[in-house]
Amino acid sequence: MGPAGLIAILAGWFTTEVGGQPWVVYGLQRTADAVSNHGALPLAISLVLFIVVYCVVFGVGIAYMLRLVRKGPEMHKGDTGVVGGPGHERQQMRPISAATDDDLRTAAHRS
């Protein structure tokens, strides 16, 4: 399944390119007649909005991951603190989450 993602991306790209201007692709219409009448300003605005949205989404994701790394794994009662390896106990860990039990209790009381 490794190359499935790349195949999906390429298939989507081909579909977009062929489906977006089918008459131009098949030689039934000239490219000059298929161009939209939008100016540079609407194009620039949409491009800037896409860049801002992607930067915000990736920024929040990276900040969340850094928060998880900074927090580190949570120790439970009875854990020895040994992370693991040959001949050592394995440390019990919660699923990856930056929320503590106190945060979850507080959120439950609010709702």
- Asked whether the beta carbons of 31 and 24 are under 8 A apart, the reply is yes
C-alpha dist (Å) from residue 56 to 16, 51, 61: 26, 9, 8
**34-50 pLDDT tens trace:** 777 888 999 999 999 99
**47-94 pLDDT tens trace:** 999 999 999 999 999 999 999 888 877 666 666 555 555 555 554 445
What pLDDT does residue 48 have?
97
